[in-house]
Structure 1
Amino acid sequence: MADEVATTQLAEIILKRIRSRGDITFASFMESALYEPDLGYYTSPGRKVGAEGDFYTSMNVHSAFGRLISREIGRFWELLDRPESFTVAEAGAGGGQLAQDILDAIAEENPNLYAALTYRLIEKEPSLQEAQAARLAQHADRLAWSSPQELSDGALRFTGCIISNELFDAMPVHLVEMAEDGLKEVFVSADANGFREKLLPPSTPELAAYLQKFEVRLMPGQRAEINLAAPAWITRAAATLERGFVLTIDYGYLAEELYTPQRRNGTLLCYHKHSTNEDPYQMVGEQDITTHINFSSLIEAGKEADLVAVWYGEQYRFLLGVGLMEELMQLVAQAKDEHESLKHRLAIKKLMMPEGGMGDTFKVLIQAKGVANPQLLCMRKWGMGL
Structure 2
Amino acid sequence: MNTLAEIIRREIAQYGPMPFARFMELALYHSSLGYYEREAETVGRGGDFFTNVSVGSVFGELLAFQFARWLDELKVNPAELNNWQPVAPLPPHEPGSAGIPAGAVEAVALAGKDDGVPSSQVQGFNERMRSENCLLARNKWGEDRGEGKSSENGPPLPNPLLPLQGRKGENQVHRESRLLLQIVEAGAHDGRLALDVLSWFCRHRADLLTQLEYWILEPSTDRQRRQSETLREFDGRFRWFSSWESIPPQSIRGVLFSNELLDSFPVHRLGWDAGERRWFEWAVSWEEGRFGWVKLPTGKHAQTEPRQTVSGPVLPPELAAALPDGFTSEISPAAEAWWTQAASRLARGKLLTIDYGLLAEEFFAPHRANGTLRAYHRHQVSSDLLGSAGEQDLTSHVNFGALQQQGEDAGLRTEGLLPQSRFLTEIVKQIERSPQSFATWTPARLRQLQTLVHPEHLGRPFQLLIQSR
Paired residue secondary structure (1:141): coil
Q: TM-score, normalised by structure 1?
A: 0.85
Supply the distance in 1 between the matched residues of 2:324 and 2:64 (Cα, whole angstroms).
43
When the two structures are superposed, what TM-score results if normalisation uses the length of structure 2? 0.70
Does the C-alpha gap of structure 1 residues 186 and 324 become closer, same or farther in structure 2, counting only changes over 3 Å?
A: farther
CA RMSD of aligned residues (A): 2.4
Cα 1:69–1:46 shift into 2, 3 Å: same
Q: CA deviation at 1:332?
A: 9.5
Paired residue for 2:462, among 362, 370, 382?
A: 362
- The correspondence for 1:195, drawn from 283, 286, 291, is 291
Aligned to 1:282, what secondary structure does the other structure show?
coil
Distance 1:279 1:293 in 2: 20
Shift of 1:258: 2.5
- Which residue of structure 2 aligns with residue 349 of structure 1? 450
Q: Quick check: 1:219–1:261 contact (8 Å CA) kept in 2?
A: no
Equivalent pair of 1:82/1:113 in contact (CA under 8 Å): no
1:167 counterpart = 2:261: yes
Q: Which moved more, 1:196-205 or 1:282-291?
A: 196-205
Shift of 1:155: 7.0
Go from structure 1 to structure 2 and tell me whether the alpha carbon gap of 1:140 and 1:216 turns closer, same or farther (over 3 Å shift): farther
* Stretches (4+) displaced over 6 A: 329-332
**1:267 partner SS:** coil
Greater RCO between the two (CA within 8 Å, min separation 6)?
Answer: 2
Residues 1:143 and 2:238 are matched in the alignment: yes
Deviation at 1:43, TM superposition (A): 2.1
The residue that corresponds to 2:52 in the other structure is 58
Bigger Cα Rg: 2
Equivalent residue number for residue 227 of structure 1: 332
- Look up the match of 1:184: 280
Name whichever of 76-85 and 16-25 sits farther off: 76-85
Residue 373 of structure 2 is aligned with which of 268, 272, 279?
268
- Structure 2 vs 1, CA of residues 82 and 314 (structure 1 numbering), >3 Å: closer, same or farther? farther
Amino acid at match of 2:225: E
Structure 1 stretch displaced more, 57-66 or 124-133: 124-133
Instruction: Name the amino acid aligned to 2:238.
Output: L
Question: What 5-or-longer segments of structure 1 have no aligned partner?
Answer: 1-6, 336-340, 370-386
**Cα offset, 1:132, TM superposition:** 1.5
- Compared with structure 1, are the counterparts of its residues 123 and 20 closer, same or farther at alpha carbon in structure 2 (3 Å cutoff)? same
User: Which whole-Å deviations, capped at 9, do the CAs of 1:7-62 have from their partners, x for residues lacking one?
Assistant: 32211211122112211111111111111110011123222111221111101102
Q: How do residues 46-195 of structure 1 correspond to structure 2 at under 5 angstroms?
A: 46-81=40-75, 84-150=179-245, 154=248, 157-179=251-273, 180-181=275-276, 182-195=278-291
Is the 8 Å Cα contact of residues 66 and 427 (structure 2) preserved in structure 1?
A: yes
Q: Residue type matched to 1:351 in 2?
A: L
Q: Is the 8 A contact 1:271 1:289 kept in 2?
A: yes
CA separation of 1:305/1:16 partners in 2, compared to 1, >3 Å: closer, same or farther? same
Q: How does 1:235-384 map to 2 (within 5 A)?
A: 235-323=340-428, 335=442, 341=443, 343-355=444-456, 357-369=457-469
Question: Which residue does 1:207 correspond to in 2?
Answer: 311
Query: Aligned to 1:358, what secondary structure does the other structure show?
Result: coil
Q: Which protein has the bigger strand share?
A: 1
CA contact (8 A) 2:279 2:311 kept: no
Given that 1:120 and 1:144 are in contact with CA atoms closer than 8 Å, whether structure 2 keeps it comes out as yes
1:219-274 per-residue CA deviation (whole Å, 9 max, x = no partner) reads 32210011111111111011111111112100111112232232100111101111
Does the 8 Å CA contact 1:177/1:183 hold for their aligned counterparts?
yes
Distance in 2 (alpha carbons) for counterparts of 1:212 and 1:144: 44
* Cα pair distance change 1:244/1:277, threshold 3 Å: same
- C-alpha distance 321-27 of structure 1, shift in aligned 2 (>3 A): same
Query: How many residue pairs get matched?
Result: 352
Conserved? CA contact 1:268–1:292, under 8 Å: yes
* Distance of aligned partners of 1:334 and 1:281 in 2 relative to their CA distance in 1, 3 Å threshold: closer
User: 1:125: Cα distance to partner?
Assistant: 2.0
Moved more, 300-309 or 104-113: 104-113
Q: Could you tell me how far apart the structure 2 residues matched to 1:306 and 1:126 are? A: 32
Question: Helix, strand or coil: the match of 2:40?
Answer: coil
Q: Distance in 1 between matches of 2:409 and 2:214?
A: 27
Deviations 1:331-351 (A, max 9, x none): 99564xxxxx2x333322111
Tell me how far apart the structure 2 counterparts of residues 296 and 21 of structure 1 sit (CA, whole Å): 34
> Does structure 1 conserve the Cα–Cα contact (< 8 Å) formed by 2:37 and 2:223?
no
Seq. identity, %:
36
Aligned residues of 2:58 and 2:445 also touching (Cα < 8 A): no
Which range moves more in the overlay, 136-145 or 262-271?
A: 136-145
Change in Cα spacing, 1:334 to 1:66, as seen in structure 2 (3 Å) is closer
1:39 equivalent to 2:33? Answer yes
Once structures 1 and 2 are overlaid, which stretch shifts more, 56-65 or 316-325? Answer: 316-325
What residue is the counterpart of 1:382 in the other structure? none
State the alpha-carbon separation in 1 of the partners of residues 268 and 429 from structure 2.
37
SS at match of 1:359: coil
Distance 1:263 1:190, change over 3 A: same
Q: Which amino acid aligns with 1:257?
A: E
Q: Summarize deviations over 1:124-143 as a string: whole Å, max 9, x none.
A: 32112222222212221211
Contact 1:332 1:344 in 2 (8 A): no
The structural deviation recorded for 1:286 is 0.3
